[in-house]
Structure 1
Amino acid sequence: MKAKTTTLLAGAALALALTTSAFAARTDLTLAIQLEPPHLDPTAGAAGAIDDIVYQNIFQGLTRIGPDGAVLPSLAESWTVSDDGLTYTFTLQDGVTFHDGTALDAGDVVFTLDRARADDSTNAQKALFSAIDTVEAVDDLTVKVTLSQPQGSFLYNLGWGDAVIVAPESAETNKEKPVGTGPFKFETWAQGSSATLVKNPDYWGEAVALDKVTYRFISDPAAATAALLAGDIQAFPSFPAPEAVVQFEGDPRFAVVIGSTEGETVLSTNNGKEPFDKLEVRQAIAHALDRQAIIDGAMFGFGTPIGTHFAPHNPAYVELVETYRYNPEKSKELLAAAGYPDGFKATLKLPPPAYARRGGEIIAAQLRDVGIDLEIIPVEWAQWLDQVFKGKDYDLSIVSHTEPNDIGIYARDDYYFDYHSDEFNAVMAELDATSDEDARYALLRKAQEIIASDAVNGFLFELPKIGIWDAKLEGLWHNAPLQANDLSAVHWTE
């Protein structure tokens, strides 16, 4: 009897163990990105695919950019800014170690920032550090950075992947074997196939839920669809096939999450060339644009309409789509008032991306309806850069500006829009000298309103972030304030 009871108890224990195991949330993840990075050092390359893997996972900066675009503490737990906006004093997190066991201290910060702004720097965003005059280690956990001039975006700049903190002991080998301070450690890289990260058991912050993450490189849209449907991957945070989304929307196994990126897609306009130098003409163009029809035709319905050059997920965003609502009759009235009652002819130079080529056909038809006859001229990227971006040899074009928080381009005297506004420039100058977050947001909203009112460009839509992943997976970013896959909050549910 005793033996039988023991056997029953053992069986029950085994059944309980199996049941518990069956319901335990998994701790591994395989996700896909479109492009394989050339290497894994974000401080020495411009490829966004580097940050797709390493940003906040392996490498961290003094600050970080959150999923809504806000600046948050990271390796710096806090900071103060002098009244003149020139001196930033950072207090570092205590007890942080790099993946090789070396301790993070102020000397690593000095090394990183001096290296990034050095004459021989290979940092792709060296301009981010151009305002720095000196970097000084006050003590092991305090760093003082003095600027040569106020730069209101300085804390934001420090949150880019190009500004992550590296150690002198490992900086030269980070391309092949990245060593950072993040919640994941680099494990392997199978060239042409995948890269694998594992949980950092000595992480200084809150422990992550995932023990292992594998990034697969899948550029072909058909292969991306097949891999998700087969379960070979559990997530594609930036799915490359909008035409295939319908296959997943009705499948309860998947979550389809449509967010925004930093890609403001605009009908670029040569403001310095007749007749586009007339406000009424630019306003007429704005009223002639049916944004939703453009999104439907060029992007299979995916994309967020915008009325200014700013990402909708940013906390400083202003909804200005209705500034110039679709109104062809109003467009014709404005053209007549500008001296073009019968319209005019112009050219539309289109670079290779599908959103431009498909969108260009739709926009040409919309403008033709109000009397503006466009000659479509397809160009390759090299031609676009030479003719449009550098030479300003164009009337209209279509392109997505994907750099984060880049509204400041409208203050550049030599920029290809050829737009000049003393009012806008004054706002940008004040923004550069302002550090207070609320005050910066107010100035950014004012800047958005100015360029919207001036109809500098035809503001079309924000490029979508099409995320498709297992319905039981949570914590992936819905929007992309910068190119990254921050996995620190990703976990499985049952």
Structure 2
Amino acid sequence: MKTIKSIIGGAALLLAAGTAAFAARTDLVIGVVLEPPHLDPTASAAAAIDEILYANLFQGLTRIGRNGEVLPALAESWTVSDDGKVYTFNLRSGVTFHDGTAFDAEDVKFTLDRARADDSTNAQKQLFAAIDTVEVVDPATVKVTLTSPQGSFLYNLGWGDAVMVAPETADGNKEKPVGTGPFKFGNWAKGSSITLVKNPDYWGEPVALEKAEFRVVPDAAAAIPALLSGDVQAFPQMPAGDALIQIESDPRFVVAIGATEGETILSTNNGKEPFNDIRVRQAIAHALNREDIIAGNGSGYGTPIGSHFSPANEAYVDLTETYAYDPAKAKELLAEAGYPDGFKATLKLPPPAYARDGGQIVASQLRQVGIDLEIIPVEWAQWLEQVFKNKDYDLTIISHTEPNDINIYARDDYYFDYNNPAFKEVMNTLEATADPARRVELYKTAQKIIAEDAVNGFLFQLPKIGVWDAKLEGMWENSPIQANDLTDVKWAD
């Protein structure tokens, strides 16, 4: 009997060991193309920051869900006054920052006042322009009063630029971010990876992953072997190139072609000659063959657009024929503008393949009508400093991945340097309008104005080409906001 018991006991140990061996994984390595310049989403326009930290480490009063809906986050509920100007937020109880300090109404006031201050470095400061006052009613209640009704206010509070920060740690968030989310900061191996670890004191439903490493993998040459070897298990935005067909046929992986909020445009310096002449901008628009640009943009996917608006939005208008591909018309317009022999300009291209690869095609197409572009590759930090901040450029290619951001064309000092009072009036009316049907009509009008003004070369909506291990669950197929939300991600048992 003793021998039998020993055998049974040994079998039990073997079974337990086997069960442990086959337990679901709790770590994940995610490939990202761009390394963020720093880790504070409230102090930069770089989408790479939100792609790592939004909803994972930092949270706002509201959040944008996987279907683009506004959801409660640190505010569990809210009420709105009859005149649409006063929002009263009821905050969740028991929420702490990762350093152990409590989150309360004082932090909300600090965050919103900081974001809208005269010396604010928030890249989307305009989001907070309608706020008149932020009042602490009690530790769990905040009253925000607007100068006028703003139909998009709750949506705006769901942006990464509106996440809550604490006065004790805000100044250090660029290097050591401290938030309230289900993950907290692990480490940043600059040039290589950023690691988040599970927050054991999280106020909400615990996440399944114990650790998530965001590894910088800039191109297909590095991404393909990393994926096939299993070193990286997920690419929310896969730089697959021509290898995507091979990956699609491999049952080990899921390939999900989704939609983003990324309007990919040939950004144009409207305040600089010769681009301050609408005929020159119209000529550029007529010279662009979107289908060829999409075919060579690094993925071969994308939806043509004729204005700065996502085709997935109910208010979208197809304006691609406003200036249809017509090289002869482009030459005619250039001659009318005083450039019968064309002119020379520069095209600054940031690292992503849609810019570097697509830029070669754009330069070739514009060369056919007499516009000779000098291609200048720039790193992301250079692009932010030279192009976005200092307007030191002629043309550039970039995807604007912020959600529903057509209002940037109304900003006085934005890097396009575009100024149209009629467009600003539409945006002002939109901001004060809550009726959904009326907002749709205003969005349509706004799209038509900037399309007709040929403010930029509107190219295509950036696709979301997600590739990940077939055993992984909960990844987002679409990108209604620039984020890789790992809240529901887990490995199948």
Would you call these one fold, judging by a TM-score over 0.5? Answer: yes
1:137-156 Cα offsets, whole Å, 9 max, x none, are 11222101123344444323
Indicate how the Cα distance of structure 1 residues 349 and 175 shifts in structure 2: closer, same or farther if over 3 A, else same. Answer: closer
Aligned partner letter, 1:208 = V
Indicate how the Cα distance of structure 1 residues 200 and 304 shifts in structure 2: closer, same or farther if over 3 A, else same. Answer: same
CA positional deviation for 1:320 = 0.9
Q: Superposed, which structure 2 residues align to 1:393-472 within 5 Å?
A: 397=395, 399-402=397-400, 404=402, 405-412=404-411, 424-435=423-434, 439-452=438-451, 457-472=456-471
Map of 2:258 onto structure 1: 259
Map of 1:144 onto structure 2: 143
Map of 1:229 onto structure 2: 228
**Equivalent residue for 2:347, pick from 342, 345, 350:** 350
1:410-460 Cα offsets, whole Å, 9 max, x none, are 345776767666654432121111245565344324423444466554421
Map of 2:161 onto structure 1: 162
Map of 2:207 onto structure 1: 208
CA positional deviation for 1:275 = 11
1:199-229 Cα offsets, whole Å, 9 max, x none, are 2233222222212222333346533333222
Q: Which runs of 5+ in 2 are unaligned?
A: none
TM-score, structure 2 normalization: 0.81
CA positional deviation for 1:5 = 4.2
- Worse-matched range after superposition: 54-63 or 39-48: 39-48
Q: Superposed, which structure 2 residues align to 1:379-390 within 5 Å?
A: 379=376
Counterpart contact for 1:235–1:469, Cα < 8 Å: yes
1:23-48 Cα offsets, whole Å, 9 max, x none, are 43222112233344454333345544
Q: Superposed, which structure 2 residues align to 1:77-476 within 5 Å?
A: 77-219=76-218, 221-240=220-239, 242-267=241-266, 277=278, 282=282, 289-313=288-312, 315-318=313-316, 320=318, 323-324=321-322, 345-347=341-343, 349-353=346-350, 355=354, 358-359=357-358, 362-363=361-362, 372-379=369-376, 397=395, 399-402=397-400, 404=402, 405-412=404-411, 424-435=423-434, 439-452=438-451, 457-476=456-475
* Separation in 1, partners of 2:105, 2:184: 22
Counterpart contact for 1:316–1:445, Cα < 8 Å: no
Question: How many residues of Structure 1 are paired with residues of Structure 2 in the alignment?
Answer: 482
What secondary structure does 2:212 align onto?
A: strand
Counterpart contact for 2:331–2:340, Cα < 8 Å: no
CA positional deviation for 1:106 = 1.2
* Separation in 2, partners of 1:434, 1:143: 23
| Identical positions, percent | 59
Q: Which runs of 5+ in 1 are unaligned?
A: none
1:172-200 Cα offsets, whole Å, 9 max, x none, are 44444433221112334445543332222
What secondary structure does 1:43 align onto?
A: coil
Counterpart contact for 1:27–1:212, Cα < 8 Å: yes
- The CA RMSD measured in Å over matched residues stands at 4.0
* Separation in 2, partners of 1:6, 1:253: 42
- Worse-matched range after superposition: 89-98 or 360-369: 360-369
TM-score, structure 1 normalization: 0.80
Indicate how the Cα distance of structure 1 residues 344 and 274 shifts in structure 2: closer, same or farther if over 3 A, else same. Answer: farther
What secondary structure does 1:186 align onto?
A: strand
Aligned partner letter, 2:349 = P
Q: Superposed, which structure 2 residues align to 1:479-494 within 5 Å?
A: 479-494=478-493
CA positional deviation for 1:58 = 1.5
Indicate how the Cα distance of structure 1 residues 17 and 468 shifts in structure 2: closer, same or farther if over 3 A, else same. Answer: same
Indicate how the Cα distance of structure 1 residues 424 and 213 shifts in structure 2: closer, same or farther if over 3 A, else same. Answer: same
Indicate how the Cα distance of structure 1 residues 86 and 345 shifts in structure 2: closer, same or farther if over 3 A, else same. Answer: farther
Counterpart contact for 1:30–1:235, Cα < 8 Å: yes
* Separation in 2, partners of 1:472, 1:447: 44
CA positional deviation for 1:333 = 8.1
Indicate how the Cα distance of structure 1 residues 383 and 312 shifts in structure 2: closer, same or farther if over 3 A, else same. Answer: closer
Aligned partner letter, 1:378 = I
* Separation in 2, partners of 1:196, 1:392: 34
